[in-house]
Structure 1
Amino acid sequence: MFSLAGKRALVVGIANDQSIAWGCAEALHRQGAELAVTYLNARAEPHVRPLAERLDAPIIAPLDVTDDAQMDAVFHEIEQTWGRLDVLVHSIAFCPKDDLHGRVIDCSRDGFASAMDISVHSFLRMIQRAEPLMQEGGTCMTVTFYGSEKVVDHYNIMGPVKAALESATRYAAAELGPKRISVHALSPGPLSTRAASGIAHFDELMADNAARTPTHMLATIEDVGAYAAFLASREAANVTGTVHPIDGGYHIVG
């Protein structure tokens, strides 16, 4: 089995123990990586800090990605504590509720800008700050969804947003490949997370997915974490720029 012993990873997006980011953090830790974990704000801290402490994370810090000063502070602490970074996991997305539940063509300018900034551009801002800390190469990962390439009922504006995220992943991978920094987008099937709960009729989406998936099983956060841990390993160093379906084969039946 591959080992992540000695690797340092930043995981952004844990809200609770049902989060995709938590599945990734657990898997990275289990394979030997040391973790830095962020939480959104004071309201989120009581839910996230105990989880980070379970993983013996030496860095636990606030991070609202719309605040450049907070982002700078996180990466400064990583530099001061570790001197380098090997793995970045970005598992956050946001869209104002009215825009998320409305038609794509009715999405407000501010809602679209906010969704793109938090869901897409924040990943690029993190990669930019991680790059100088990845002098010996590294792995950057984000999380997407099948609704980026096919129309999924009720996914609405997040479809175009995730499509932009996947395109940004490819371009970043091309730019950073010579530095041996890989960039990936993990694409699990529908998962029962707090973020997903904001999507209308999500239970119906999950039921339909389970019925049509070749394995007849929904993906779990453990599935996503195991895949993320492999991509962070030395054995996956020559894999980059890809959207990785982790969905029981749903993407082959459409």
Structure 2
Amino acid sequence: MNSKHEAAAGNNQALAGKKALVVGIANESSIAWGCAQAFKELGAEVAVTFLNEKARPHVEPLARAIEAPLFLPLDVTQPGQLEAVFEQIEARWGKLDIVLHSIAFAPKEDLQGGLLSCSAEGFGKAMDVSCHSFIRMAKLAAPLMTDGGTLFAMSYHGANKVVPNYNVMGPVKAALEASCRYLAFELGHQGIRVHAISPGPLKTRAASGIKDFEALLHETEQRAPLGELVDILDVGYACAYMATRYARHISGNTVYIDGGANIMA
């Protein structure tokens, strides 16, 4: 933990007894990893997934570091894998309180070629992995959230404003944010809250596919009122707060964690 987060550490156990599923950790730079750490620090038990055997060596040490009781393979494009994850969660815990979805994908040629050049197949793939898989997760999670719960999906400012080179992911993330609002409406009567989380740009593996990303980082840092970029723990602590009872009447929002950059022209 770096020095700017030391004040957040301590004995706050606002998520004690809660069960969380974190999907999307690829390595120690992943936003999902910052969230998993924050959930654990506030007392939750955290189940972790990994994409495939190639990813496993990068994720398994992180799962061990937070003493994850469940470490499960999950590729949402493979039939049955998502259902298997929730079956194991039900068998182990019998309930679930938090789900964090932090996965997105578009074929490189479709992502980097501009929206007009995006193939129908590439658009559909991006929408399925980055958006519809969250809806599928919500459907499986809701029956396990017997005491209510919180669902998180990772978005980005390019969902609402044009960010050069973000291309097809802009419309896809816009669909994801709209899905969060509709799920918040449909699941609210069960005490389930749904949030789209919109971090500022971060040096993650997913971001490496965006053209001129370093320039975007620099421009965001210069524009943000707080004058600095966010890191994965900034995102994690914000999500952890949103999962506590202190935020029990907040739902359906897109929550920006970007030093205020989104308010600037």
TM above 0.5, one fold? yes
Q: Is the 8 A contact 2:48 2:70 kept in 1?
A: yes
- Whether 1:133 and 2:111 are equivalent positions in the alignment is no
Q: Give the match for residue 173 of structure 1.
A: 184
Cα distance in 2 between the residues matched to 1:108 and 1:39: 28
SS in 2 for 1:68: coil
2:195 to 163, 166, 184: 184
State the shift of 1:2 in Å. Answer: 5.8
Q: Is the 8 A contact 1:147 1:155 kept in 2?
A: yes
What is the CA deviation profile of residues 38-79 of structure 1, one whole-angstrom value per residue up to 9, with x for unaligned ones? 000000001101100110001000000112311111000000
State the shift of 1:216 in Å. Answer: 1.0
1:163 to 174, 192, 196: 174
- Whether 1:119 and 2:130 are equivalent positions in the alignment is yes
SS in 1 for 2:193: strand
**What TM-score, normalized to structure 1?**
0.99
SS in 2 for 1:27: helix
CA RMSD of the aligned region, Å?
A: 0.7
Q: Give the match for residue 119 of structure 2.
A: 108
Percent identity reads 54
Q: Give the match for residue 74 of structure 1.
A: 85
Cα distance in 1 between the residues matched to 2:141 and 2:78: 17
Q: 1:149 corresponds to which letter in structure 2? A: N
- In structure 2, relative to structure 1, the CA distance for the partners of 1:232 and 1:68 (3 Å cut) is farther
State the shift of 1:103 in Å. Answer: 1.5
- Whether 1:237 and 2:255 are equivalent positions in the alignment is no
1:30 to 32, 37, 41: 41
- Whether 1:48 and 2:38 are equivalent positions in the alignment is no
Number of residue-to-residue matches in the alignment = 254
Cα distance in 1 between the residues matched to 2:81 and 2:109: 27
2:227 to 216, 222, 235: 216
1:151 to 159, 162, 185: 162
Runs of 4+ that moved beyond 6 A: none
Cα distance in 2 between the residues matched to 1:27 and 1:11: 11
SS in 1 for 2:85: helix
Q: 2:41 corresponds to which letter in structure 1? A: R
Q: Give the match for residue 262 of structure 2.
A: 251
Cα distance in 2 between the residues matched to 1:250 and 1:68: 39
SS in 1 for 2:22: strand
Q: 1:106 corresponds to which letter in structure 2? A: S
- Gap regions ≥5 residues in structure 1: none
What is the CA deviation profile of residues 137-196 of structure 1, one whole-angstrom value per residue up to 9, with x for unaligned ones? 000001000001111011111000100000000000000011100000110110000000
Cα distance in 1 between the residues matched to 2:17 and 2:180: 26
**What TM-score, normalized to structure 2?**
0.95
Q: 2:65 corresponds to which letter in structure 1? A: R
Q: 1:140 corresponds to which letter in structure 2? A: L
- Whether 1:194 and 2:205 are equivalent positions in the alignment is yes
SS in 2 for 1:245: strand
Cα distance in 2 between the residues matched to 1:155 and 1:22: 23
Q: Is the 8 A contact 2:13 2:43 kept in 1?
A: no
